[in-house]
């Protein structure tokens, strides 16, 4: 770009979103949402048709059911919320969300997932340097994705959709999840860094008071990330590698 990059090695901790930041699962999510919403829109005669722009504006970064409700509300469609145990065929917010999750889980288990190489390299160097690392993800599949990608051991804590539902944490863009991430990791957000690719996640981290919020532009757009509160924009975390010492594996 280039922009002045924050010093990751000087942070109390670094907290990462998962989908679209650490792993390309955002693409799997996008495909699963499109399959489900195309079906729902056709069945109910909803217009205008669902687009990728809808994903970024109404769904990306939010908890699953909140994303469904937000998207349908954009088309002036209101349906019962239902229950988290609703069958995927149920015509409820939870039913549609569960239908999407079944499509996502099927794809993940069939194809697997690998981390972005640049993200993996940054995480490896920060972990070797002893920087506390955590994941803050709205996905209820976060633990499975991290395990599938072979990177779960790098992160001391995971605050995900399961934790959010259990503890009553509001969905991003509310600050709750990133605030809880800082507490769980034992770091002060004012001296820590958050990394996000969704406007809702950027806004959540900014509202939680993180010193820097790195926006990773995988398609959302730099202007949108900046407007949400990102302090620096990159298109890949590999841009940080020159700032990370190659000798971080030495024992202090």
- Asked if residue 216 lies in contact with residue 196, where contact means CB atoms within 8 angstroms, the answer is yes
Nearest CA among 132, 134, 152, 122 for reference residue 246: 122
Sign of the alpha-carbon dihedral angle for 53, 57, 58, 60:
positive
Q: Is 217 one of the annotated active-site residues of the chain?
A: no
- The bridge status of strand 133-136 relative to strand 14-16 is parallel
What residue spans of the chain are helical by DSSP H? 25-44, 52-54, 64-74, 93-111, 117-128, 142-149, 161-167, 176-185, 199-207, 222-228
DSSP state of 49: P
DSSP state of 12: S
Q: Is 167 one of the annotated active-site residues of the chain?
A: no
- Asked if residue 63 lies in contact with residue 164, where contact means CB atoms within 8 angstroms, the answer is yes
- Diameter of the chain by CA atoms? 63
Which residue in 7, 12, 19, 197 is the catalytic one?
19
Which residue in 7, 12, 17, 223 is the catalytic one?
17
Residues with a catalytic annotation lie at 17, 19
């Amino acid at each position: 770009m280039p922009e002045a990059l924050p010093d990751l090695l000087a942070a109390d901790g670094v907290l990462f979103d998962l989908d679209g930041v650490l792993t390309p699962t955002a693409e799997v999510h996008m495909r699963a949402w499109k399959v489900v919403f195309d079906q729902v829109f056709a069945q109910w005669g909803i217009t205008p048709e669902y687009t990728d722009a809808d994903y970024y504006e109404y769904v990306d970064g939010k908890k699953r059911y909140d994303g469904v409700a937000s998207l349908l509300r954009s088309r002036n469609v209101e349906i019962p919320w239902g229950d988290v145990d609703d069958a995927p065929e149920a015509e409820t917010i939870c039913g549609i969300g569960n239908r999407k999750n079944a499509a996502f889980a099927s794809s993940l288990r069939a194809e697997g997932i690998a981390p972005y190489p640049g993200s993996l390299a940054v995480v490896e160097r920060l972990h070797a340097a002893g920087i506390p690392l955590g994941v803050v993800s709205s996905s209820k599949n976060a633990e499975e994705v991290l395990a599938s990608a072979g990177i779960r051991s790098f992160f001391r804590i995971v605050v995900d959709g399961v934790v959010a539902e259990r503890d009553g944490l509001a969905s991003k863009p509310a600050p709750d999840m990133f605030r809880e991430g800082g507490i769980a990791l034992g770091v002060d957000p004012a001296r820590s860094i958050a990394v996000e690719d969704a406007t809702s996640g950027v806004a959540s981290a900014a509202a939680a008071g993180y010193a820097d919020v790195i926006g990773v532009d995988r398609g959302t757009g730099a202007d949108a990330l900046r407007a949400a509160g990102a302090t620096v924009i990159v298109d890949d975390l590999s841009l940080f590698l020159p700032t990370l010492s190659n000798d971080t594996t030495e024992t202090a």
